[in-house]
Amino acid sequence: MNQENLLVGLAGVLAAAAPILFAVLGETLSERAGVINLSMNGTILLTAMSGFAVAYTTDSLLLGFLAGMLIGAVVALIVAFASITLKQSQVAVGFVLALTCRDLAYFLGNPFMGVSGPRLQAAPIPVLSDIPVLGPVFFRQEVITYVSYLAIFLAWLWIYRTRPGLMLQGIGEKPAAAYIRGANVNLMRYVYTVIGGALIGLAGPAYSLGVRAGWMGTISGLDGIGWIALSITIFGGWNPARAAFGAYLFALLQWLGLVLQPVLTQVPSQVLQVAPFPLMILTLLLVNIGNAEWVERTLAAMPESTRKFFAKLLRAMRASPPAALGVPFERD
Amino acid sequence: MNVELKNIHKHFGKTYANKGINLSIPSGTIQGILGENGAGKSTLMKILSGFIQADPGGEIILNGKPVVIHSPADAIHVGVGMLHQDPLDFPPMRVLDNFLLGRSGGLFPNRGAVAQDFKRLAEQFDFSLDPDNYVDALTVGERQQLEIIRLLWLGARVLILDEPTTGISASQKTKLFATLKKLADQGMTIIFVSHKLEDVESLCHQVAVLRAGELVGTTKPPYNTSRLVEMMFGKIVTLGERQPAKSGEPVLSLRDISLEDVRLKIRNVNLDLRAGEVIGLAGLEGSGQGMFIRACAGLVRPVGGRILLKGRDLTGRSYHTFKREGVNFLPASRLEEGLVPGLSLTDHFVLAEEPNGVFIDRAAGQRLAEERIKAFNIRGTPFSTVESLSGGNQQRAELALLQSPLSLILLEHPTRGLDIESVIYIWSKLKDRCHQDSAAILFISSDLEEILQYSDRVLVFFSGKVSAPIDAATTSVDQLGQLIGGKGWQEKGGSHA
């Protein structure tokens, strides 16, 4: 492979990761507040279809994206209402919504199957796109990809550097403690779930108006992406920066599966297509290995300096979920 | 700040948790609130700190002005801050983030300025807290210190402390008391809620006693302990005599046991625990006693040495084998490890029985539950879920669940958070079981008086070091306190029994 192809390929990885990124960031915000939005897979399919349909009908890409965000927010609102106000199981509600939204997408999307419609065009950033290597990889993308870079940074900044972001961490960790510090826990949970839902709703149009334009129904290649995003949220330890790393890693693995196919002819192509999934599971295992008792024991047996190094490494890698994830909050 | 509570009522359903309470606390006073579990102390404090609202008709008056407190945020706004028994902080977050969380201000907090305020306050009270440390690495005592300076920073002029001496070390307690006295001298009002008489007597300027939701009376020093106990319980309660140690056959024998986890190493412990004997494990939380008792329960595998139960080698066997051999372990977290929230008392007794076919005989289970509820004096019905019981009654339920016959009972903080009457009851039941089954008891407690009162011998833990067994009858609380703090290990040191 020559250098140019490699750069184009890497740029493609960044673009392909954008929908996963939006979904992961949305889910991260929602779960940080303590609400699991399990409807993600269905939401992404539904917003991909409706985002394309709206853009096609109105001939406006912007309206397509807004429609996606609105639908994502509405689905998240249902999750929030059922879990926060009605105190029902988030898992059950989310799962049913995931299935419903998926079927709705396939059913309502029929008239738009295979239609060619508007799509985002690459918008190179002047000056920046001329930097060697970095330019072609990062700055000759579609607008939505730039938005995805920005979203990572903003989400990280919000959670770790702002006052409301600290409170958000607190709400997911120990709502009672956040409450005595003046937080309106349930209102904030609504807000973050809905904002998170709107972000998830951006994932669909990012795909159907960008990565792979159009609506192809069941062969869109999109089904399952929500579940992957869910696992990347965990892999990312509810930290936007780490989650972004996970999303890019997954997109990279998928791309490698494609480019390696002609090289590794003796390996059946199905293996390479499926490989990213078990690899993600493996990474998840690695991340959480520090929780296992045998690891602690192995560590304890190591000489002091090595032990300290690995203990630090494991502590840095380990991510524990917000302690109040999925737990309704009641005053006393 | 002068605090006045006027005619405070609070009912839950038909029962009154607070009934017409009137209390006046002048500025600069350390006010003790005494009462057994369920006497209404917590309810009263939750009303003052905004967690719950009193029934209409009552008044809270601060410095002569009536105030309405709808939430904890309101409370801190008018100057009332509360330190909860389980610190309401965020363990995975840094100390400084915990400190600044909840203080209003701009979008991006100025961490540098906050850190300066933090340092100044910490120095003022001689607290050594690292702002960059994670809260889950702190002891309960340090987390209290963090909460105290946080509340002061937010402008608290009234500080409520709910059972603050539970789970902290003797030296931390000394420091806490010194801090509270200093604050009172500065004109703060301190409300100290406790069921520990000696703490209240040594600290408080005046004491109010609650019983069954009502204020029974207030007293000032000098305190008369037996009078206070009588006010709390409505009757006279005595501790009972120390019972001399019996030396039966060894039940549990440890031979050169070594244990390890990431933080601690325990090396070559030898011990013979005899039938009828009670050994107390003393030490600051996290000194290795938790790992030690779990090793005796078969939950932690030793890295070296052997564990023998009545002569049988059980080294490396599973928890279930230990249990079959008559080892029962009651962990500190009753609702997390000991009982199953959501299940009723009947369910628990049915589960603990030997399985008899696949189907459950409900009627028999209920009869059994009624029997045990009576025998163990549990306040609840066969249908009560365990989480609806008070702490003391949960502990009684756990005792009622002990299998029989038993050879070894392992207990972690068996009476933490319980009032004296429950403590005495639980220990009498435990000792009964001990004699009945000629079993032995190994227990962890952070209450040194409890350790000396109820054990025959004591093992002291200090960062993984284990003392030789010490005779409880000839040791004082002071001596024990020194050892726990790591002093005097030359004479008592070594790890052989």
Residues 6 or more apart whose CB falls under 8 angstroms from that of B290 comprise B412, B444
pLDDT top residue among A161 and B245: A161
From the CA of B195, how many Å to the nearest CA of chain A?
Answer: 22
Assess contact for A177 and B90: CB atoms under 8 A.
yes
Chain A residue numbers with beta carbons less than 8 Å from the beta carbon of B95 are: none
List, for residues B68-125, the tens digit of each pLDDT value.
999 999 999 999 999 988 889 999 899 999 999 989 888 999 999 999 999 999 999 9
Asked if the Cβ–Cβ distance from B88 to A311 is below 8 Å, we say no
Burial class (CB in 10 A: 0-12, 13-18, 19+), B83: buried
Chain B residue numbers with beta carbons less than 8 Å from the beta carbon of A331 are: 51-52
Asked if the Cβ–Cβ distance from B82 to A301 is below 8 Å, we say no
pLDDT number for residue B395: 85
Chain B residue numbers with beta carbons less than 8 Å from the beta carbon of A164 are: 107
List, for residues A130-169, the tens digit of each pLDDT value.
898 899 889 999 999 999 999 999 999 999 999 999 999 9
Q: Is B359 on the interface with A (CB under 8 A)?
A: no
**Which residue in B51, B82, B108 is closest to A161 by CB distance?**
B108
List, for residues A253-292, the tens digit of each pLDDT value.
888 888 888 888 888 878 877 877 787 778 777 766 766 6
Q: Is B244 on the interface with A (CB under 8 A)?
A: no
What residue type is A256 in one-letter code? Answer: L
Asked if the Cβ–Cβ distance from A297 to B260 is below 8 Å, we say yes
Asked if the Cβ–Cβ distance from B90 to A173 is below 8 Å, we say yes
For B109, which residue in chain A has the nearest alpha carbon? A163
Asked if the Cβ–Cβ distance from B261 to A297 is below 8 Å, we say yes
Asked if the Cβ–Cβ distance from A300 to B109 is below 8 Å, we say no
The helix-helix angle for A225-235 and A40-58 (nearest 10°) equals 120
- DSSP secondary structure code for residue A215 in this structure: B
State the count of interchain CB pairs (< 8 A) between A and B.
80
Chain B residue numbers with beta carbons less than 8 Å from the beta carbon of A162 are: 107-109
Measured distance CA(A76)–CA(A201) in Å, rounded: 9
Q: Is B106 on the interface with A (CB under 8 A)?
A: yes
* Predicted confidence (pLDDT) at residue B276 exceeds the cutoff of 90: no
Chain B residue numbers with beta carbons less than 8 Å from the beta carbon of A182 are: 71-73, 76, 102, 104
pLDDT top residue among B146 and B311: B146
What residue type is B343 in one-letter code? Answer: L
**In degrees, to the nearest 5, what angle opens at C-alpha B165 toward C-alphas B159 and B166?**
120
Measured distance CA(B488)–CA(B486) in Å, rounded: 7
From the CA of B89, how many Å to the nearest CA of chain A?
Answer: 6
**In degrees, to the nearest 5, what angle opens at C-alpha B130 toward C-alphas B126 and B131?**
110
DSSP letters spanning B117-159: HHHHHHHHTT----TTSBGGGS-HHHHHHHHHHHHHHTT-SEE
**Which residue in B88, B92, B262 is closest to A320 by CB distance?**
B92
Measured distance CA(B23)–CA(B2) in Å, rounded: 11
The domains found in chain B, sorted by start residue, are 3-233 (3.40.50.300), 250-326+403-492 (3.40.50.300)
Cβ atoms within 10 Å of B182's Cβ, excluding its own: 13
| Interstrand relation of B327-330 and B189-194 (parallel, antiparallel or unpaired) | unpaired
Chain B residue numbers with beta carbons less than 8 Å from the beta carbon of A156 are: none
pLDDT band at residue B361 under the 50/70/90 scheme? confident
Measured distance CA(B298)–CA(B315) in Å, rounded: 8
Is A15 strand, coil or helix?
Answer: helix
Residues 6 or more apart whose CB falls under 8 angstroms from that of A190 comprise A77, A80, A84
Cβ atoms within 10 Å of B154's Cβ, excluding its own: 17
Q: Is A300 on the interface with B (CB under 8 A)?
A: yes
Pick the range with the lowest mean pLDDT from B31-45, B280-294, B350-364.
Answer: B350-364
Instruction: Give the C-alpha distances (Å, rounded to integers) separating A109 from A72, A73, A171, A203, A227.
Output: 16, 20, 38, 17, 21
Note the pTM of the prediction, 2 decimals: 0.77
Pick the range with the lowest mean pLDDT from A56-60, A81-85, B208-212, B239-243.
Answer: B239-243
Tokens at residue A237, please? 């330890």
- Residue B68 phi, psi dihedral angles, 5° rounding: -115, 125
Alpha helix ranges (H) inside B279-352: 289-296, 319-324, 345-352
pLDDT top residue among B490 and A154: A154
* Predicted confidence (pLDDT) at residue B264 exceeds the cutoff of 60: yes
- Residue A137 phi, psi dihedral angles, 5° rounding: -75, -50
For A176, which residue in chain B has the nearest alpha carbon? B88
Asked if the Cβ–Cβ distance from A300 to B105 is below 8 Å, we say no
pLDDT number for residue A219: 83
List, for residues B150-176, the tens digit of each pLDDT value.
999 999 999 999 989 877 777 888 999
Closest-CA residue to A50 (of A112, A114, A96): A112
Asked if the Cβ–Cβ distance from A173 to B105 is below 8 Å, we say no
Chain B residue numbers with beta carbons less than 8 Å from the beta carbon of A289 are: none
* Predicted confidence (pLDDT) at residue B497 exceeds the cutoff of 60: no
Per-window interface: A 150-209 vs B, CB < 8 A: 161-164, 166-167, 169-170, 173-174, 176-183
pLDDT band at residue A217 under the 50/70/90 scheme? confident
Assess contact for A176 and A328: CB atoms under 8 A.
no
